[in-house]
Amino acid sequence: MTQSTHDRPAGGADGAGRAVVPVLAFAGIVVAVMQTLIVPVIKDLPRLLDTTPGDATWVLTSTLLSGAVATPIMGRLGDLYGKRRMLVASLSVMVAGALVSALTSDLLLMIAGRTLQGVAMGAIPLGIGLMRDLLPPKRMGSAMALMSSSIGVGGGLALPAAALVAQNSDWHTLYLGAAGLGVLAIALTLVLVPESPARAPGTFDLPGALGLSTGLLLFLLPLTKGSAWGWTSGTTLGLLGAAVVVLLLWGLMELRVPAPLVDLRTTARREVLLTNLASIMIGVSFFVISLVLPQLLQLPASTGYGLGRSMVVAGLCVAPLGVTMMFTAPVYARLSARYGPKVTLVLGLSVIGAGYAGGLGLLDVLWGPVLISVVVGAGIGLAYASLPALIIGAVPASETGAANGLNTLMRSIGTSMSSAVVGMVLASTANTVGGTEIPSMHGFRLSFMIATAAATVGLVLALFIPGRRPSNTLRLRASGEEDAHLERAEQALRGPVSA
């Protein structure tokens, strides 16, 4: 029998549960660190790997593709066979990939290592599912908010740290450090996080996994390589067309399978569908700041608009993005307890849009990127934190891992779209200086306008998500005292219960 949302083990509530949140959040941050670790040395990859700039981009693309494929699959495996078990497996594959990357300068081996590292993206939905199964309702608000935001927190904090290491040591050291963090996360998880007793019925849908993987690869590959191949080239259009066909056939197959990889009927529910579509827009807006601000900060002042800062200083200026997201989690818990996750999602998207729109006039001063990072980080933190509560409140307990895996995938699709569109905008508006193309201020501002538009579309989608009273969703509470007051109020409204 599958355990329900409200039937949690007592030990997870107060005993081991005290360590569950920091350990799982640390695992999520480690995974996020792995995703952005290579950013400070991107421009040097052709020289470091003795390859062409086009081939060097596979070091980034491979991680994105494997992460997109692994996320929904690991979520479903967690529902079936144990979320902690799959979390440890994901982190173990990541550590193996980090060690491969740390010990090679060969392009193919580096791509293989980075592909293995992407598997760890499944840790985010697995961690959220474990929190749902192990924690009491009063702690889930801030806990899931922190877990959901960990990918942004780790990404923001990793940039200055990775830049510092890259400037003062061999770049392979980045991967040795990441492997060490992964081993620590595995050890802490095994010792301090109990396994969830909740299991979904059925068996693993291997044909569904292969179909989804094929469809995602056909869709994301041209999305990430379209700028190099040409957006109207036969390869790009052919792969996108094939993706549509494969995903449609996959959807028809999933509707006929008794235990599908992704329950499309549940996914089609208005609350789940709109939340996932809004997640794509959040992913688009989130990634713009990572693409624009580090470049603007490092461009030489001789361009007339570059801020002429070092790699480390640029990372420190963007770091408030992750720090603000981390400190937003407890704020989200109280807002969600009072008003519900839909309201916090609407608020978060509004703050994101305001941060980018207001930032259009702040790109020419050093404190501007810092302020933009703080404001957008607060909005992203609120928005990301709202997503798992909305998803979990609309799906059965047995589908938590798969549903949150799909939601995490939607965010990844958003960041992929952002990378493709912003990359195209910056390339088409670049200035040529000394034979070298550099991004223009016009391109940076256009990118911010795209982020503002994405946040606006996400806001409209969020407004149409069905509203529920907080007490009717996951009962996410800011404190035990508030729980007691609400219980008494609800009992009074119900009146005496007749036999």
- pLDDT, tens only, 323-380: 888 778 778 777 887 888 899 999 999 999 999 999 988 888 888 899 999 999 899 9
Q: Which residues contact 276 (CB under 8 A, 6 or more apart)?
A: 267, 406, 407, 410
Question: Alpha-carbon Rg of the chain, whole angstroms?
Answer: 22
**Cα 103 from Cα 232, distance rounded (Å):** 39
The answer to whether 320 and 448 have CB atoms below 8 angstroms apart is no
Quote the crossing angle between the two packed helices 123-134 and 367-392, to the nearest 10°.
60
pLDDT band at 17 (very low <50, low <70, confident <90, very high): low
pLDDT band at 220 (very low <50, low <70, confident <90, very high): confident
pLDDT band at 450 (very low <50, low <70, confident <90, very high): very high
**Cα 421 from Cα 417, distance rounded (Å):** 6
Instruction: With a cut of 80, say whether residue 126 has pLDDT above it.
Output: yes
390: its two tokens = 């909305």
Q: Over the stretch 237-291, which tens digit does the pLDDT of each residue have?
A: 999 999 999 999 999 998 888 888 878 888 888 889 999 999 999 989 988 888 8
Q: What 8-state DSSP symbol labels residue 202?
A: S
Which pLDDT does position 482 carry in this prediction? 39
Instruction: With a cut of 90, say whether residue 28 has pLDDT above it.
Output: no
Which pLDDT does position 481 carry in this prediction? 41
130, burial (CB in 10 Å: exposed 0-12, middle 13-18, buried 19+): buried
14, burial (CB in 10 Å: exposed 0-12, middle 13-18, buried 19+): exposed
Type of residue numbered 194: P
Longest dimension (CA), the chain: 86
Q: What is the mean pLDDT of residues 207-211?
A: 90
In the chain, how many H helices and how many E strands? Answer: 21, 2
Q: What is the mean pLDDT of residues 464-476?
A: 59
pLDDT band at 480 (very low <50, low <70, confident <90, very high): very low
Residue (of 390, 402, 400, 385) closest to 465 by Cα position:
390
Instruction: With a cut of 70, say whether residue 486 has pLDDT above it.
Output: no
Q: Which residues contact 11 (CB under 8 A, 6 or more apart)?
A: 17, 194
The answer to whether 56 and 34 have CB atoms below 8 angstroms apart is no
Instruction: With a cut of 80, say whether residue 321 has pLDDT above it.
Output: yes
DSSP structure string for 376-440: HHHHHHHHHHHHHHHHHTTS-GGGHHHHHHHHHHHHHHHHHHHHHHHHHHHHHTPEEETTEEE--
Q: What backbone phi and psi angles, to 5 degrees, belong to 259?
A: -125, 80
236: its two tokens = 């790009």
The total of other beta-carbon atoms located within 10 Å of residue 163's CB is: 22
- Whole-number percent of the chain with pLDDT over 90: 25
**Cα 118 from Cα 97, distance rounded (Å):** 9
Q: What is the mean pLDDT of residues 118-125?
A: 86
- Mean of the per-residue pLDDT values for the chain? 81
Selected residue with higher pLDDT from 278 and 66: 278
pLDDT band at 485 (very low <50, low <70, confident <90, very high): very low
**Cα 30 from Cα 22, distance rounded (Å):** 12
- Helix ranges (H only) for 255-269 are 264-267
Q: Which residues contact 80 (CB under 8 A, 6 or more apart)?
A: 199, 200, 202, 203, 204
Which pLDDT does position 228 carry in this prediction? 79
Type of residue numbered 364: D
Q: What is the mean pLDDT of residues 73-95?
A: 91
Instruction: With a cut of 90, say whether residue 86 has pLDDT above it.
Output: yes
Which pLDDT does position 221 carry in this prediction? 86
Taken in order 177, 178, 181, 187, the sign of the CA dihedral is negative
Residue 59 three-state SS: helix
Q: What is the mean pLDDT of residues 125-152?
A: 78
- Please report where in the chains the tokens 């990404």 appear, as a residue: 155
The answer to whether 131 and 24 have CB atoms below 8 angstroms apart is yes
Type of residue numbered 380: I
Residue 333 three-state SS: helix
Instruction: With a cut of 60, say whether residue 499 has pLDDT above it.
Output: no
Q: Which residues contact 299 (CB under 8 A, 6 or more apart)?
A: 305, 306, 307, 308, 438, 439
- Please report where in the chains the tokens 């996080």 appear, as a residue: 193
Residue 310 three-state SS: coil
Lowest mean pLDDT among 29-33, 41-45, 89-93: 41-45
The answer to whether 93 and 114 have CB atoms below 8 angstroms apart is no
Q: Which residues of 302-329 are buried (b: 16+ CB within 10 A; e: fewer)?
A: ebeebbebebbbbbbbbbbbbbbbbebb
Lowest mean pLDDT among 11-25, 106-120, 217-231: 11-25
Which pLDDT does position 242 carry in this prediction? 94
Type of residue numbered 212: L
Bridge partners (DSSP) listed for residue 437: 432
Residue (of 203, 196, 151, 145) closest to 16 by Cα position:
196
**Cα 138 from Cα 144, distance rounded (Å):** 11
Lowest mean pLDDT among 165-169, 208-212, 403-407: 165-169
